[in-house]
Amino acid sequence: MTDELVTIEVDGRELKAKPGTMLIDVTDAAGINIPRFCYHKKLSVSANCRMCLVEVEKVPKPLPACCTPVNEGMKVSTRSPMALGAQKGTMEFLLINHPLDCPICDQGGECELQDVAVGYGSDVSRYSEAKRVVPQRDIGPLIATDFTRCIHCTRCVRFGAEIAGVRELGATGRGEHMTIGTFVEKSVDSEMSGNVIDLCPVGSLTAKPSRYKARAWELTQHDSVAPHDSVGSNIHVHTRNNRVVRVHPKENESINEIWLSDRDRFSYEGLNSEDRLTQPMVRKNGEWQEVEWQEALEFAVKGLQSAAGSDGDQLATLVSANSTLEELYLAQKLTRGMDSGNIDHRLRQSDFRLDGNDSPVPGLGITIQGIESLDAALLVGSNVRKEQPIIAHRLRKAAKSGAKVSFINPLWIDLHFEADQFVSTPAVMVDNLASIAKAASAKLTGNLAKLVKAAEVSETAKSVAEQLKSANNGVIMLGNQAAAHPDYSLLVVLASAIAEATNTSLSYIPALSNSVGAALAGALPHRGPAASLVEKCGANAQMMQSKPRKAYLLMGAEPGFDFWDPSLINSALDQAECVVALTAYHSESLASCADVMLPIAGFAETSGTLVNAEGTWQSFNGLVKPQGDARPAWKVLRVLGNLLDIDGFDQNSSDDVLEELKSHAAETAIDNSVSTKTAGELNSSTEGLYRIGDVPMYASDALVRRASSLQRTNSAEPAAVRLSANQAKSSDVEEEETLVVVQDGNRAQLPLIIDPRVPDGAVWISSALPGTEKLGGQFGVVTLEKA
């Protein structure tokens, strides 16, 4: 297409546009309103609602603006008697079968059909015959349906086919008998399914968790940032009476476009969970007691001082990377102020051998939007679709426009785009990557050079190396399962060497909403604020647990669910003299080992900043009052700092904390460079049955684990032992049998499921689920016994 613009005339206004652009895009850009239902800027044009009919000069019939390309000299009128007549007629037809139940419809007040009916509908209906009624359908716990209201725009169907990549909803029947539904009686399980709620122009698809909770006009809209994955999707939080009622996406083309993952959309339910800790609690003589803040803080300070006052190394601080930048900064300042270097946010990592030579600020290294223009991508240890749905959506766009995507994973994953998957047990994953390194003739030294030399170059490895080499814009991404891999350091060095040899870039997909921020804030044992190496290197998360300290400070983390090895952290905390937990929830797993629980504000209750995977700093305000006596964590840390007589704890707002951090780290960008060419010995083995413990999508943090609707979806499966059919045969166990899993002396009884996604020699037991919270590490040798 040429770059020359054509001139058209709309309602007497002269507009310039690229030839071939659809008329509705041109008028939208010029601010001329044409009513529409089926047209959506992010979806393909289907032109089936006929609401956007306009009159074009020299054309005898009205034309739909959404599928009429502009031509030189075209004269359009959107408000001529012919156009208005056509629009009014369409509106009348649409309203024939639309029920008059606006008063009980959740869409009422923000309904496109209502809005357009005000402008183009007539005030009296000429239709007195029977209206169509469609039977109710249950499509899961997230989306409420009422297909009687459907006007057949098929936006939801097109969303499934074009954006979510799973055609879960479809239209069956014709004319008046056309209905939308799932093809077979099942629920809609896409990880982005909630977006059809926003797309639906009427009240056919509405949000089930917020059903009947509020009318549109009662809600106050606030801007915020989603608190789960590392995308940092921009959201609108809608509140009423100091409660979060629902969450909608906020358009940001460079981050989440107009989409939002279900986890970000529905997790707010966890805020109002009965588990919320609303009053500080102290354990006295083995009994938990609710106390005032003053007493709880003094208790905590006394405990910390007596345990770690004289020897700073006895203090260990473990923080969740879902905390805000301000909280993480103050936590590391407090820890270092107590003369301890023991602070870490990498709770789900077990291999820290690379520390010091690791990437200073690991992140995507490219922009989220930039993922779309990749030519080739190799993802190592990543179930990207479940872990970071928006990044997966961008990858899907890249794959659709020709990018070659391959995965090296311990499990087969369900994908919505074409990709090669190399699935093997964790130990063989390293070999697979080494094989690609050999094919790409990557330069390595020491152990890894030997490993690569010994690797066999398979045809697939050759083709992947070739794809990466020939790509102008290629990337090797390390995912969340790679970070939890017992040989993470080997994977990182191999990946960085391959990246160097193939002239692609190394990229990390951070797990949590502020993983990048944690590195910037200095919540690491070997790096301070702005990721500068510190002189006195503290103990990493693993060492803090394997060599128990006397005092622990936990922030936003639950021992049984947020750690790589729940049994290890539990035993460490049991031996400690003083465990201070800053937590929004009163959980069993904390109550059994903590000494003080300080209630902190959750998502939407505190102001703060999150840094997403591409390194964008996004600040937000507190939107609702924290429940009960809970306080924002940065305030709690500030007061703890004061009571412990540490200098530099005199900030009056989270903005002050942010300013202080910015003076160190404002210029620090994502830096994925790895300064070594070798790594240690292989930790993982091919001996015995090897556990693969992923973190299920709806178990990733304390908030989402308490979001009741998400927990009822099919994606929130209960804990189970999963084996391939072959492996089950050789282990002599049968489907649905209850097995006892033994890992490092810890036992758990779980049902067996035969799952073809698991490679032979491995057993898939998800972590962070009730039932697995007493087991050992996410990866490791396990034995199965019959119950």
Partner 1 sequence: MTVFKNYIKSLFLLELLKGLRLTGRYFFAKKFTVQYPEERAPMSPRFRGLHAQRRYDNGEERCIACKLCEATCPALAITIDVEAREDGSRRTSRYDIDLFKCIFCGFCQESCPVDAIVETRVYEYAFEKRGENIMTKDKLLAVGDEHESQISADIAAQAKYR
Q: Considering the complex, what minimum distance in angstroms separates the CB of residue 113 from partner 1?
A: 17
Q: Least CB distance from residue 243 to partner 1, whole Å?
A: 12
Interface segment toward partner 1; rule CB under 8 A; list 98-106, 329-337, 400-408, 718-726 = 98-106
* Among candidate residues 644, 537, 649, the one with its CA nearest the CA of residue 304: 644
Which residues neighbour 82 within 8 Å (Cβ) at sequence distance 6 or greater? 55, 62
DSSP-derived secondary structure for 671-736: B-----S--------SSSEEEE----GGGSSHHHHT-HHHHTSTTSPPP-EEE-HHHHHHTT--TT
Q: In the bound complex, what is the minimum distance in angstroms from residue 487's beta carbon to partner 1?
A: 51
Task: Tell me the CA distances in angstroms from 233 to 300, 504, 614, one per residue in order.
Answer: 36, 27, 12
Based on the shown chain and the rule CB under 8 A, indicate whether residue 211 belongs to the binding site for partner 1.
yes
| CA pair distance 771, 585, nearest whole angstrom | 19
Residues in binding contact with partner 1, number by CB under 8 A: 11
Q: What is the DSSP string of 249-280?
A: E--BTTTTBT---HHHHHGGGGGG-TTB--S-
- Between 137 and 215, whose beta carbon lies closer to partner 1? 215
- Least distance (Å) between residue 107 CB and partner 1: 12
The least CB distance from residue 213 to partner 1, in Å, is: 7
Residue 734 found at the interface with partner 1 (CB under 8 A): no
* Residue 11 contacts residue 78 (beta carbons within 8 Å): yes
Give the shortest CB-129-to-partner 1 separation in angstroms. 22
Q: Can you tell me the distance from the alpha carbon of 549 to that of 208, in angstroms, rounded to the nearest whole number?
A: 46
Which range, of 99-107, 393-401, 641-649, 671-679, touches partner 1 by CB under 8 A?
99-107
Among 58, 130, 217, 459, binds partner 1 (CB under 8 A): 217
Nearer to partner 1, 205 or 477 (CB): 205
Segment near partner 1 (CB under 8 A), from 3-11, 100-108, 395-403, 411-419? 100-108
Question: Contact region for partner 1 (CB under 8 A) — 70-78, 96-104, 498-506, 528-536?
Answer: 96-104
Whichever of 103 and 286 has its CB closer to partner 1, that residue is 103
And the tokens for 146? Answer: 């009422």
How many helices and strands, by DSSP H and E, does the chain display?
Answer: 24, 32
**Token couple for 179:** 């209905």
Q: Which amino acid is at 442?
A: A
Segment near partner 1 (CB under 8 A); pick from 206-214, 276-284, 400-408, 478-486: 206-214
Contact 375, 404 (CB under 8 A): yes
φ, ψ for residue 512, nearest 5 deg: -110, 170
Q: Minimal distance in Å, beta carbon 478 to partner 1?
A: 45
In terms of Cα–Cα distance, which of 609, 510, 600 is closest to 555?
A: 600
Cα(244)–Cα(235) distance, rounded to whole angstroms? Answer: 12
Contact call for residue 666 and partner 1 (CB under 8 A) = no
Q: Are the CB atoms for 197 and 209 separated by under 8 Å?
A: no
Token pair in block for residue 215: 């009318």
Q: Counting Cβ atoms within 10 Å, is residue 742 exposed (0-12), middle (13-18) or buried (19+)? A: middle
- Which of the ranges 207-215, 367-375, 605-613, 626-634 carries the binding residues for partner 1, by CB under 8 A? 207-215
Which of residues 212, 652, 667, 681 is near partner 1 by CB under 8 A? 212
Stretch that binds partner 1, among 205-213, 369-377, 597-605, 745-753 (CB under 8 A): 205-213
Is there binding between residue 118 and partner 1 (CB under 8 A)? Answer: no
Among 213, 400, 664, 677, binds partner 1 (CB under 8 A): 213
Q: Least distance (Å) from partner 1 to the CB of residue 94?
A: 20
Which of these segments, 210-218, 371-379, 655-663, 693-701, binds partner 1 (CB under 8 A)?
Answer: 210-218
145 to 1, 39, 157, 237, 591: CA distances (angstroms)? 43, 21, 14, 23, 40
Instruction: Indicate the residue among 115 and 218 with the shorter CB distance to partner 1.
Output: 218
Bridge partners (DSSP) of residue 507 are 477
Distance (Å, rounded) from C-alpha 317 to C-alpha 577? 14
Is 99 one of the binding residues for partner 1 (CB under 8 A)?
no
For partner 1, the closer of residues 136 and 714 by Cβ is: 136
Least separation, in Å, of the C-beta of 603 and partner 1? 24
CB of 146 to partner 1, least distance (A): 11
Name which of 218 and 574 has its Cβ closer to partner 1: 218
Q: Cα–Cα distance between 573 and 552 in angstroms, integer? A: 7
Rounded least distance, CB 219 to partner 1, Å:
12
Closest contact distance (angstroms) between CB of 102 and partner 1 is: 8
Q: How far is the CB of 100 from partner 1 (least distance, A)?
A: 8
CA distance 425 to 427: 6
- The answer to whether 215 contacts partner 1 (rule: CB under 8 A) is yes
Region of 103-111, 485-493, 656-664, 756-764 interacting with partner 1 (CB under 8 A): 103-111
Q: Which stretch binds partner 1 (CB under 8 A): 36-44, 172-180, 209-217, 546-554?
A: 209-217
The least CB distance from residue 244 to partner 1, in Å, is: 16
Beta bridge partners of 75: 9
- Integer angstrom CA distances of residue 693 from 60, 266, 324, 346, 772: 65, 25, 27, 16, 10
Q: How far is the CB of 105 from partner 1 (least distance, A)?
A: 9
User: Can you tell me the distance from the alpha carbon of 777 to that of 181, in angstroms, rounded to the nearest whole number?
Assistant: 42
Nearer to partner 1, 207 or 377 (CB): 207
CA 619 – CA 605 distance, rounded (Å): 13
Q: Does 218 bind partner 1 (CB under 8 A)?
A: yes
Both tokens of residue 292?
């005032």
- Closer to partner 1 by Cβ: residue 217 or 667: 217
Residue 218 vs 295, nearer CB to partner 1: 218
Phi-psi region of 368 (alpha: psi -120 to 50; beta: other; left: phi over 0): alpha
* CB atoms closer than 10 angstroms to residue 20: 11
Which of 81, 103, 402, 745 binds partner 1 (CB under 8 A)? It is 103
Q: Based on CB atoms, which residue is closest to partner 1, 101 or 785?
A: 101
| Minimum CB–partner distance for residue 108 and partner 1 (Å) | 7
* Complex with partner 1: residue 211 or 747, whichever CB lies closer: 211
Of the pair 146, 375, the CB lying nearest partner 1 is at 146
By CB under 8 A, is residue 104 in contact with partner 1?
A: yes
Which one among 19, 69, 89, 108 touches partner 1, defined by CB under 8 A?
A: 108
Least Å distance between CB 212 and partner 1?
A: 5
- The contact pattern for partner 1, residues 146-185, with x = CB under 8 A and - = no contact, is ----------------------------------------
Nearer to partner 1, 104 or 725 (CB): 104
DSSP at 743: E
Q: Locate 684 and state its tokens.
A: 């993982």
Q: How far is the CB of 184 from partner 1 (least distance, A)?
A: 24
Q: Which phi and psi (to 5°) does residue 687 adopt? A: -75, 140
Determine the Cα–Cα distance for residues 307 and 267; give it in Å rounded to an integer.
Answer: 37
Using rule CB under 8 A, residue 462 touches partner 1: no
Secondary structure, 3-state, 212-244 = CCCCHHHCEEEEEECCCCCCCCEEEEEEECCEE
Q: Which residues bind partner 1 (CB under 8 A)?
A: 102-104, 108, 211-215, 217-218
